[in-house]
């Protein structure tokens, strides 16, 4: 069974994944909307930047985040100068890392969903007197619902499984920044294979259930689109 520290790590992991998913859906919506409709020449550049976490070793991302968010970094230093704690080694720091790390898993399904809707339903809504925001909530959101479900589940599941970024900027503080993937690593390091099995099983079951939801509800989905 899970030890108390493992249970705490599970709760932190779920909190992190939940907060990250909410932030990503809020950030990802305007970003994906813009990407789905723009003809701007910088679109491929933004596409590539968003897809970068798919291919980079997470430690690269974690390393730079540590530099930026740490006490000597641009943002960390700024936080320190106004009397706040630097973000490295805090839960907030983890959230920032996770948001960047899981961004493509939320933006791409949303972008696909928006592109799939096309312009026509919006034009129809406009000729039926719907204002722009009204059009988004009454037409785009309901039509993009499968995309939102996919984005939410993937963002959540991918954050559950992150390791490298968390290791670099989390600092492995029990009760604050220690997540399940790190707990497994710790157990293996100290040769507690039984505990490693228990925690791994939790992650496997959780991730499988989430992915099953996505694929069952949305049969045409592709996880990675480059």
SS3 212: helix
Rule CB under 8 A: is residue 217 a binding residue for another protein? no
Rounded Cα distance between 97 and 20, Å, is 9
Region of 35-43, 127-135, 188-196, 204-212 interacting with another protein (CB under 8 A): 127-135
Among 143, 188, 198, 223, binds another protein (CB under 8 A): 143
Determine, following the binding rule CB under 8 A, whether residue 131 of this chain makes contact with another protein: yes
User: Is the CB of 41 or the CB of 132 nearer to another protein?
Assistant: 132
Take residue 99 and report the two structure tokens written for it: 């948001």
- Regarding 142 and contact with another protein (CB under 8 A), the answer is yes
CA distance 112 to 149: 13
Min. distance of Cβ 68 from another protein in angstroms?
42
CA 94 centroid distance within chain = 11
127 binds another protein per the rule CB under 8 A: yes
Measure the CA–CA gap between 192 and 137, rounded to whole angstroms.
51
Least separation, in Å, of the C-beta of 149 and another protein?
14
Binding window for another protein (CB under 8 A); candidates: 91-99, 125-133, 191-199, 214-222: 125-133
Compute how many other C-beta atoms are within 10 angstroms of the C-beta atom of residue 1.
Answer: 7
Angle (CA) 159-161-166 rounded to 5° is 70
- Which stretches of the chain bind another protein, using CB under 8 A? 120-121, 123-132, 134-135, 138-139, 142-143
């Amino acid at each position: 069974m899970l030890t108390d520290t493992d249970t705490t790590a599970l709760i932190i992991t779920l909190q992190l994944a939940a907060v990250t998913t909410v932030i990503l859906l809020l950030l990802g919506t305007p970003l994906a909307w813009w990407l789905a409709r723009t003809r701007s020449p910088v679109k491929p550049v933004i596409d590539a930047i968003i897809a970068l976490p798919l291919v980079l070793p997470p430690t690269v991302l974690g390393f730079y985040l540590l530099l930026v968010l740490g006490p000597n970094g641009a943002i960390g230093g700024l936080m320190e100068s106004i009397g706040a704690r630097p973000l490295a080694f805090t839960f907030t720091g983890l959230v920032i890392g996770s948001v960047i790390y899981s961004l493509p898993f939320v933006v791409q399904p949303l972008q696909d969903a928006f592109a799939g809707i096309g312009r026509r339903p919006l034009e129809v809504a406009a000729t039926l007197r719907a204002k722009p925001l009204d059009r988004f909530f009454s037409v785009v959101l309901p039509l993009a619902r499968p995309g939102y479900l996919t984005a939410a589940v993937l963002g959540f599941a991918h954050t559950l499984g992150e390791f490298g970024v968390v290791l670099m900027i989390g600092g492995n503080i029990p009760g604050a920044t220690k997540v399940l993937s790190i707990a497994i690593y710790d157990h293996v390091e100290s040769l507690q294979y039984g505990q490693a099995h228990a925690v791994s099983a939790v992650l496997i079951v959780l991730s499988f259930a989430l992915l099953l939801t996505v694929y069952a509800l949305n049969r045409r989905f592709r996880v990675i689109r480059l």
